[in-house]
Amino acid sequence: MTRFIKIASVFVLAVSLASTAIAEYPEREIQLIVPTSAGGGSDKTARVYAKFVTEYLGQPVVVVNRPGGGGAIGITAVLNAKPDGYTMGQLMLPEIVSRQFDNPTAQFGADSFDYIGKSGIDNHIFAVRNDSKLQTYQDMVAFAKANPGNLSCGVTGVGGGPQLASLRWQKLAGVELNLVSFKGGGQIRGALLGGHIDMLCANTGAVSKVLKEVRILALSADETHPKFPNVPTLKSFGIDLAVGTERILAMPKGTPAKILEKLRVAHQKTLANPEYQKAAKKAKVTIDMASPEKIAQKLKSEENDYRALWAASPWIQDR
């Protein structure tokens, strides 16, 4: 009996110590891995978020850039990190679910992580120069249907969000574009303004500096954008496509539930902070309040869509 009591006491003490350790989380800085280079939209979004969420966690959240492999290097770093709450990732949709199809090293997908929330979203747009003969979305579709493959559309990156959004849109709209890939927003913006491409499909951030020189024809979103209230959504034209660069906060799979809860509470408090909202607006970050459950559901749905798209028309033709 005495031995049983001693064993039970040791067990209770171990559980108590483990609970105390989790309750004291975090005890040191948390790394926020961003799978892109410093200075871009994703990096800026992460740094604004890290500054404010630190207040609710009581320890610094430090941004660590891990670019390369179309996002695969940074995402893999989060995938393989110890699930102790000290490594978080700001991972990108679609790359988190699409890279498994075009990159043999990408061993991750929708079910590979535990989710906290979103640090922001940058919806995709179709845009032309102000002097383009394509004045409306309907003009663009009519021209594309009458001239298959002749309408040049710039996109950022092979296998990136804008290219994949364009491929999906073509199937839904029944048109064929001539897609031209560029490395980033600056290049694609210059190509459009220089008359080297007819239109572009990119994040809203790609044209934020030249809004007076371009005409946005449509937005790939569920609702109109507060910054572009007069721009119609694709859904308003009967195209069920609402995608963009969604920046998702994720933890390695198996992170303890109490740690996840603390991070999720801190996340919600951050998004509700008026000062954060002001800073996010200044940084051109669109806040998205999606819950971890809704994020997981959307990722699974998007993963299935990209699997079907890859099977029908691989976006990297030499695989």
At residue 283, the pLDDT reads: 84
107-136 pLDDT, tens digit per residue, is 999 999 999 999 998 889 999 999 999 999
* CATH 3.40.190.10 placement within the chain: 123-237
CATH of domain 2-122+244-312: 3.40.190.150
In the block, residue with structure tokens 């997981």: 296
234-246 pLDDT, tens digit per residue, is 999 999 998 888 9
Distance of CA 50 to the CA centre of its chain: 16
* CATH 3.40.190.150 placement within the chain: 2-122+244-312
CATH of domain 123-237: 3.40.190.10
- CA 292 to CA 53: how far, in whole Å? 17
- Inter-CA distances, 140 with 133, 176, 265, Å: 9, 11, 45
Question: Across-strand partners of 92?
Answer: 247
Question: Across-strand partners of 203?
Answer: 124
pLDDT above 80 for 50: yes
138-192 pLDDT, tens digit per residue, is 999 999 999 999 999 999 877 888 999 999 999 999 999 999 988 777 889 999 9
**In terms of C-beta distances under 8 Å and separation of at least 24 residues, what long-range contacts does 230-239 make, across chains too?**
231/125, 232/137, 234/169, 237/137, 237/138, 239/169, 239/172, 239/173
**Percentage above 70 pLDDT, the chain:** 92
